Structure 1
Amino acid sequence: MKKLAFAAIGGAALGLVVTTQVAGPLLAQEAEQDRTIYEQLDLFGDIFERIRSDYVEEVDEQKLIEAAINGMLTSLDPHSSYLSPDDAEKMRVQTRGEFGGLGIEVTQEEGWVKVVSPMDGTPAALAGIQTGDFITHVNGESLMGLTLDEAVEMMRGPVGSEITLTIVRQGEDDAPAEPFDVSLVRDTIKLQAVRARTEGDTVVLRVTTFNEQTFPNLSEGLAQQVEAAGGMDHVNGIVLDLRNNPGGLLDQAIAVSDAFLPEGEIVSTRGRHPEDGERYNATAGDLAQGKPMVVLINSGSASASEIVAGALQDHDRAVVVGTQSFGKGSVQTVMPLAGDGAMRLTTARYYTPSGRSIQALGISPDIIVQQPPAPRRPRPRPPRRRPRTPR
């Protein structure tokens, strides 16, 4: 017993020594990391003071701080950013379905602004701008080196004002393409989230965006078309057209998916920590009453569109037709900040019911159907370049 007790005591003592030996360096490492962080913050404060006191021109302190915050966020990915009070309000207006602009959804790729999709009936769509186009200049000013928000800000302006975009479009067989200019007039963008029509005995639901009006518009439009057809018995199937739909609100994507799924998972999100993950499930009922469905997608279908297409595909509720979708499967959370501004931060990624990641991969159609090429613009004007001025 004494030997046993001794062994136990010895083991406990050894455990204490090992714990101390391991914990000591860890605590020291954490202390060193904290010290380094505070040193970097001191460095930031020093740089801020030097800019404020010694820069050749007087600077706006608030704008300087906002630029530093935005730089920190945009270094993470193209979708994280700081929203000034004005930008935060514009975002809230846009999700309600009406705003001023060109009607174009963009992202950033290797420093250039890339078109995700033009929105139906907007100046961008009417001017022939296409998914995959690169916007290199605005009114002759290069966008290279700007953040996505800065580039978007250059494209904003009063309704009725003219803007010239320089476009580079990939040629056939990936051949180098010559840039050309497109002139547009900014307009008030009134997005009709869903347009419903009947072709033969098939109801076609064209969903252009996922804003606050999407699910109400979809359910109302479907009901009207079914009633006009004489009831669901006279409807052969449903086509859900998500082509060139850049996405939008997560809750609307879930609601649209739920409209056609009687049960099962719709989408899951996975964040940095396991407890951050969420699963969204369908509730009983199917607005289409089990009628066959086809979902149309293309490279301009992104985010919320991919959630819907992926959910209906994984549950064998619809046949997905078209081309590979865009592949934007990250979740941005908008967090209100003091002073009416906000922070848009990527906090999670989307996964379809089968566990597929949407990010960068997109949704692969069950049946590949290429879209016919858009007609070429006649005699594109050569791009204008403003001379650089010394800074």
Structure 2
Amino acid sequence: MFRPLFRATALASALALVPLATSSLAAVDNDTYKELDQFMNVFERVRAEYVDKVDDKTLIKGAINGMLASLDPHSSFLDATDFQSMKAQTDGNYGGLGLTVSMEDGAVKVIAASEDTPASRAGIKAGDYITHLNGELLYGGTLDEAVEEMRGKPGTTLKITIVRPGRDKPFDLTLTREVIELKPVKWEVKGDVGVININAFSKNTGAGVRAAIMGIEKSLGHKPAGYVVDLRSNPGGLLDQAIEVSDAFLDHGEIVSQRGREKNDIERYYAKPGDDTHGAPVIVLVDAGSASASEIVAGALQDQHRAIVMGERSFGKGSVQTLLPLSQTTALRLTTARYYTPSGRSVQEGGIEPDVLVPQLSDPDYKDRPRFREADLRRHLINQAKVDNSILEDDVKEDPRFRLTSEQLEKQGVKDFQLDYAVKTLERLTKLPQVQTASRGK
């Protein structure tokens, strides 16, 4: 989850004006200055004696990146290029392949392939490793360098080598770069059910969801049997958009809270009166690629008993990153808080557990493909209250509802089993006899 907070701070000036109050504080400061002296000694040695001449900017940026990388996987320094790249992504318009990736032990790992992009059409999946670009080994480089190489002029091609857990050999895919203009929200009608597919939480996602609800009702000419909110493979985005999307389905109650390092550093966000769907049944679909802002929406609707969550356990990113500008062209993306669902749950590491576990039977690799989540990232924030999901996820007992193979589903014309199951569930709900409530007079 990302919170763009543009604010200046006078911390450095304030510290320069405040005298040291105690000897212990002075001792701490002296220790810190000794460490900084050591850093400067290393800096001078490297710039003077390294085998190749290295400019100071490269050394300083490397030191900053190393400091932030030692904290958690999501804090980072943004130079001018990174800053513009991040802005393009949150605006929902950038060039490339449509991949969300991370770095793990020097290798590039796929978190999600955005829908209707070159990456998703090529069949790249969460958990895949990208080892080569145009035959050049990626291992040992930085994530920024890998992302920069994957981007390029629209229409140009890029050969990528994929290592997929469960497959014996790597395989190559040739993708054509495109201008990625992500439509954060798409909708369609299946039978009497409205399906709202949210691909990202960029600046117009909330408005897109409200427009989708109106479009579905207009298309049907009446109130639908219910809504499926598809958050699968949605890596998240802006906090305010997650709140706005949740608010579209709620008319009261807390949506999310975020808590910083101090006990009293708590912010709570609430739904405004008015449910855009007028109380229609809702099913939320999640999977291992549903992260951050997606988990806020799923957790809010689940805790408020407003929706049934189906699919697989979500990614488990329960931290808040704040953008702190350092200059006109650089910024610090820093983890400043954890977020909690209305019931007080932190999804950090554990993710959102679906109410109904529905496997993606239409994917022939679903049994063998490992799921990649926040808990797999090095130096991820620890959740002391994390629930151990291994027993549930390793349960090999076959659910009698889910015995069909991908080949059988293909013959039936079912390309997306999870979505098909959610739609049919809502259709069954509308056929259930309504419970009549007896009125009592005085």
Is the TM-score greater than 0.5?
yes
2:195 alignment counterpart: 204
Distance 2:227 2:47 in 1: 61
**Aligned amino acid, residue 33 of structure 1:** V
Distance 2:120 2:278 in 1: 34
CA spacing shift, 1:150–1:30, aligned 2, 3 Å: farther
CA displacement, residues 146-183 of structure 1 (integer Å, 9 cap, x when unaligned): 44334323433332332232222222xxxx74322222
2:96 alignment counterpart: 101
1:264 alignment counterpart: 253
CA spacing shift, 1:216–1:180, aligned 2, 3 Å: same
2:306 alignment counterpart: 317
Distance 1:32 1:178 in 2: 57
What's the secondary structure of 1:340's corresponding residue? coil
Shift of 1:111: 4.4
What's the secondary structure of 1:247's corresponding residue? coil
Distance 1:146 1:80 in 2: 18
What's the secondary structure of 1:114's corresponding residue? strand
1:215 alignment counterpart: 206
1:363 alignment counterpart: 352
Distance 1:146 1:354 in 2: 42
CA RMSD of aligned residues (A): 1.9
2:71 alignment counterpart: 76
Distance 1:354 1:38 in 2: 44
Structure 1 residues 257-266 or 267-276, which shifts more?
A: 267-276
Structure 2 residue corresponding to 1:128, chosen from 120, 123, 130:
123
1:294 alignment counterpart: 283
CA spacing shift, 1:110–1:66, aligned 2, 3 Å: closer
CA displacement, residues 286-311 of structure 1 (integer Å, 9 cap, x when unaligned): 01000111111111111111110010
Distance 2:350 2:84 in 1: 32
Indicate yes or no: 2:265 matched with 1:276: yes
Contact 1:106 1:113 (C-alpha < 8 Å) held by counterparts? yes
Instruction: Find runs of 4+ consecutive structure 1 residues off by over 6 angstroms.
Output: none
| TM-score of the pair, normalised by structure 1 | 0.83
Structure 1 residues 147-156 or 204-213, which shifts more?
A: 147-156
Contact 1:80 1:345 (C-alpha < 8 Å) held by counterparts? yes
What's the secondary structure of 2:109's corresponding residue? strand
Shift of 1:224: 1.6
Distance 2:315 2:138 in 1: 22
Shift of 1:284: 0.5
What's the secondary structure of 1:310's corresponding residue? helix
CA displacement, residues 74-130 of structure 1 (integer Å, 9 cap, x when unaligned): 121111111111210121122111100110112344543322211011011011101
2:293 alignment counterpart: 304
Q: Structure 1 or 2: larger helix share?
A: 1
**Aligned amino acid, residue 130 of structure 1:** K
What's the secondary structure of 2:264's corresponding residue? helix
1:242 alignment counterpart: 231
Shift of 1:349: 1.3
Structure 1 residues 157-166 or 182-191, which shifts more?
A: 157-166
Distance 2:136 2:334 in 1: 28
Structure 1 residues 116-125 or 99-108, which shifts more?
A: 99-108
Distance 2:335 2:128 in 1: 25
1:227 alignment counterpart: 218
| TM-score of the pair, normalised by structure 2 | 0.74
Give the structure with higher Rg (CA). Answer: 1
1:139 alignment counterpart: 134
Shift of 1:223: 0.5
**Aligned amino acid, residue 262 of structure 1:** D
Shift of 1:229: 1.6
1:18 alignment counterpart: none
Contact 1:116 1:326 (C-alpha < 8 Å) held by counterparts? no
Aligned residues: 345
2:185 alignment counterpart: 194
Distance 1:302 1:66 in 2: 28
1:53 alignment counterpart: 48
Structure 2 residue corresponding to 1:34, chosen from 10, 14, 29:
29
What's the secondary structure of 2:336's corresponding residue? strand
CA displacement, residues 158-213 of structure 1 (integer Å, 9 cap, x when unaligned): 32332232222222xxxx74322222222110101111111111111111111011
Distance 1:351 1:167 in 2: 35
Shift of 1:373: 5.1
Distance 1:284 1:66 in 2: 47
What's the secondary structure of 1:328's corresponding residue? coil
Contact 1:264 1:281 (C-alpha < 8 Å) held by counterparts? yes
2:321 alignment counterpart: 332
- Runs of at least 5 residues in structure 2 that lack an aligned partner in the other structure: 1-20, 366-442
- Runs of at least 5 residues in structure 1 that lack an aligned partner in the other structure: 1-25, 377-391
CA spacing shift, 1:97–1:321, aligned 2, 3 Å: same
Identity across aligned pairs (percent)? 53
Structure 1 residues 90-99 or 51-60, which shifts more?
A: 51-60
**Aligned amino acid, residue 285 of structure 2:** L
Structure 1 residues 187-196 or 37-46, which shifts more?
A: 37-46
What's the secondary structure of 1:195's corresponding residue? strand
